[in-house]
Structure 1
């Protein structure tokens, strides 16, 4: 805000608080919402104006020495009536001014040389005390560290490889070392000294603490497992699978054939691992090599950040004739932000619908680009559709092939739609009749339906940000009911809090952490 936008009364009140000395400028800025640069400018201007500004805001006992001296000078030549008027205007008592005048006179009588000598002696004594304090602190730390370093020496029974680089240290010894070093550091030892006492580097200790005590290095020498096949047994497996009889078969077929003959050489997974180590597991045949596609993961913490959409069939007047419902859903609020029905699937229709929804929801005002998630149908990947998305600045996102679970919000909405009591499973006679029915459904779903995934508020209420107010009222009702009849409540009241983050296909660890955080917030 500009300087001229604040009223004179507000400015005087704020400057009074700044010069009062009881609050910091940062605290006043957070309290009033005024920029810190503006507050500092007001303070500097008030201080530059001298006594007239300073005395206006500060209490008399909080005045600076310069202001008190200035009052003494200004009242030196005033008569009794003028002196009294001056004190009333400045908010002072005459006794205070007389006391300041006497203090000034006494100060002038003190010898300048004496004051200088005393100050010099105090400064030297202060330096000597600081030096002694530093030395005492250093010695106390050294004694504490020496005592703390005795702990790893006395209790350190773990084998850490005698400082040899690249050696394998067991998980038990690692855990013991971390425990001893942590105990020494808490007792006052420096971390690198405690690590040095046990013969490991500080970075090694930090890696054990952050990544866990399990050795994750792929280059370290590990003891061979007891159930590992010997080299002779592995060679026998390779000789069997490479015989003319089995050369064209996969291990999944070789193992049952050998079992029918009363022979067992290894499990399927072991044979696959042996072939892989010997580089004999390359893809062969006319089929396309399997390709692992990454899963699409998105997060939304407010409306119009992630949309999902899909197309579903609506039965027509005769068997085999369908109308196609295009439907766009906001992932955060579950609100239907766009829909239309056409007689065919087309990228042109999809492009038209997304443009319409984009304008209605004012996505152009978003700072964060919109993500539009869908499956891999031809209308979703059509050139016209992709060109429209790029022109609107929308990021396309698609599910993995033949994995309907990657688009769960749209699939769930279609089930809600087709299980409505007044849905027409036998078909709609005309496309106009189908559009009228979907229009009524969308109105009911957005504004009346209490969504179970939203703690039973409507999608429109979530979209407009009214959920916190509604949940606060529900919580108050439950708390009042519990206070009236506490014996009817075995535990806490119902949780009316809704997670502020909505994920599409979250990773397993992320979903677990979000669930725990949500449970902790509710408890």
Structure 2
């Protein structure tokens, strides 16, 4: 039976196809189940032929940051224009630990060169290079611009490591997705499509300034991303804790439990 299965004409065929062919030739060797049993005994039940074996599931991203400029996330989203079917592309890079937008750009096309230049400017601004005490990890989804050789070469020059989401799993890149939602649900987000790249840049610049310097983010105990990125957040939260404790001492009947926890999260994860 193994000799029959390993003949050139049957080498890429399963028993379900071999048995009917033999029957058409007036031959019956054994049932399909027996074929499978014998092939299993000889270690030949794996994928046969030249077809690529099935790929196992990709590992779940498990990344952590304990300080600024250790883990960044980036993505691209569409911005509508007044021409039907024509879009602008918003590039945003966010520091996962502090939630600070460290770089952004608006372009009329999706291109890896634009992304490479954007990350380069961000690394220069944040003083990140190959001599950085801890390698920066840049996390993204599986888009063409994210996996392009141009960006890969630039990140290698900068000493930046890459990480990718699993295919078709949007919540592997939650920080960028959440940032896009915050941007597009702002009250001042334009109700009409953008007229030009310049108009879109003006709006994004205003949004990023508000988000970094004025937006008190719920994920970092309602301090601004810049306050956390620059190291001011702990002192701010300690002052809040003292205010709450003093209020509790003045009016103990108003408090049935301990005061609110204002401690900053020490570790932030990207984990599917």
Structure 1 and Structure 2 fold alike (TM over 0.5): yes
- Conserved in 1, the CA contact under 8 Å of 2:155 and 2:161? yes
Per-residue CA deviation, residues 128-159 of structure 1 (Å, 9 max, x unaligned), is xxxxxxxxxxxxxxxxxxxxxxxxxxxxxxxx
Q: Distance in 2 between matches of 1:440 and 1:434?
A: 10
Q: Tell me whether 1:450 sits opposite 2:216 in the alignment.
A: yes
Root mean square deviation of aligned Cα: 2.6
C-alpha distance 311-288 of structure 1, shift in aligned 2 (>3 A): farther
Partner of 1:409: 175
The alpha-carbon distance between structure 1 residues 388 and 479, as it changes in their structure 2 partners (threshold 3 A), is same
- Asked if the contact 1:315/1:425 (under 8 Å) is kept, the reply is no
The 1:402/1:287 distance shift into structure 2, 3 A limit, reads farther
TM-score scaled by structure 2? 0.81
Tell me: CA distance 1:243–1:306, structure 2 relative to 1, closer, same or farther (3 Å): closer
Q: Distance in 2 between matches of 1:363 and 1:448?
A: 25
1:389-404 maps to which residues of 2 (within 5 A)? 389-404=155-170
- In structure 1, runs of 5+ residues without a counterpart are 1-241, 249-273, 507-523
| Equivalences for residues 172-321 of structure 1 within 5 A | 282-283=46-47, 289-321=54-86
Report SS of the residue matched to 1:327: strand
Q: Secondary structure of 2:257's partner?
A: coil
Structure 1 residues 284 and 428 mapped into 2: Cα distance closer, same or farther (>3 Å)? farther
Given that residues 310 and 410 in structure 1 are in contact (C-alpha distance below 8 angstroms), is that contact kept between their aligned partners in structure 2?
Answer: yes
Change in Cα spacing, 1:244 to 1:301, as seen in structure 2 (3 Å) is closer
Is residue 299–residue 503 contact of structure 1 (8 Å, CA) maintained in 2? yes
Matched, 1:346 2:111: yes
3-state SS of 1:372 partner: strand
**How far apart, CA to CA, are the structure 1 residues paired with 2:166 and 2:101?**
24
- Helix, strand or coil at the partner of 1:439: helix
Using the alignment, how far apart are the partners of 2:110 and 2:16 within structure 1? 52
Aligned: 1:465 with 2:231: yes
Tell me how far apart the structure 1 counterparts of residues 52 and 254 of structure 2 sit (CA, whole Å).
65
More helix by share: 1
Q: TM-score, normalised by structure 1?
A: 0.43
The runs of at least 4 aligned residues of structure 1 exceeding 4 Å deviation read 242-245, 277-281, 283-288
Change (3 A) 1:290 1:500: same
CA deviation after TM superposition for structure 1 residue 299, in Å = 1.4
Larger Rg: 1
Aligned equivalents of 2:113, 2:190: Cα separation in 1: 27
Does 2:257 correspond to 1:499? no
Measured after TM superposition, the shift of residue 498 of structure 1 is 1.8
Q: How many residues align?
A: 239
Give 1:422-437 correspondences, 5 Å limit.
Answer: 422-437=188-203
Question: Matches of 1:282 and 1:300 in 2, distance apart?
Answer: 41
Contact 2:97 2:268 survives alignment (8 Å): yes
Greater RCO structure (CA 8 Å; 6+ sep): 2
| Cα 1:477/1:371, change in 2 over 3 Å | same
Offset, 1:288: 6.2
